[in-house]
Amino acid sequence: WGPGAAPGGAAGEALVCSRLVVAIGHNAAAFLSSFILDSVCWEVVGVGKLWNEWCRTPSTTNVLPTDSFCLFYRLISDPTVLLCQCSCYVAEDQQFQWLEKVFGCMQKEGLQVTILSTCPVADYKTQESTLTLPSPFLKALKTKEFKEHVCCPLLEQPNIVRDLPAAVLSYCQVWRIPAVLYQCYTDVIKLDTITIEAFKPLLSSKTLKSLVKDVSESTKILKKLLTTNETHNNIYI
C-alpha cells in the first residue's frame, strides 16, 4: 500500500468517512474518471498495489484507471467523501486483507458504501434467453441497513455476485454498514463506452448527484480514456 499506506488519517487515528464509492473493474473505474473525478476537486490519498496470477503491478507511478493499481481519492471540499478505483484483480485469498486494509482505517459509524462493478451477461440467470436481453443493464443488491432509493431493479434469485464486489457487500452486511452494489451485466469484456454509460442512472442517486462534474468535460475524458486503452492494446507483428 502506497502513500499513507491506506486512505487513513494520522497514525492510529480512524478516518471519519460518510460516503465511500468503490468502483471495481476497468469500466466502473472509467465511469468515475469520466463523470466524477477531476484534479481540481479530488486528491489522491492512497495507492494499493497487488501481485497475483492475474495482476502484475509495474513500478511506475504514472497511474491511469487501466493500470493494475487500487487508487483512493478524497473530496477536497468534504474530506469525509472517498472514492476508490480498483482496476486490478484481487484474488480470493487477498480479499480479506484488502477489506481489513481499507475498512480497518475507517470509522464504521455513519458510513455508507456504494459499489460499482461489471460482469458478463452470460452469468445472469433468467428464464428468458440472455440473447434477447437489452445488454448492458444494471441490477442492484443491498444490505439490510441500506434504506435509500435504489436506482435500478434489484437482483433476482437465484443470481449471485462473486469476487471483490461480493466480499465488500458481505463485509458491510456483517458490520451493519448501509451499502448497495450496482452490477452492470454486459456482453463486452473490454473498456467500452456503452458499458461505462450504463452506470449513468446512478448520477441521480443521493450519493453521486452532488459529485457530478461538467458533462461536456466528461465526454472528452471518456473519449481520451478509450483512445488510450486502444493504443495500449495494439498488437504489432
Give tens-digit pLDDT for 141-165: 999 999 999 999 999 999 999 999 9
Q: Which of 199, 231, 236 is closest to 66 using CA atoms?
A: 231
**DSSP structure class, residue 11:** T
Least reliable range by pLDDT among 79-93, 110-124, 178-192, 208-222: 208-222
Per-residue model confidence (pLDDT) at position 3: 42
Q: Strands 51-52 and 137-142: what pairing?
A: unpaired
Per-residue model confidence (pLDDT) at position 8: 56
C-alpha cell at 69: 493499481
Q: Which CATH code fits 19-52+65-216?
A: 3.40.50.10900
Question: What is the C-alpha separation between 222 and 103, in angstroms, rounded?
Answer: 30
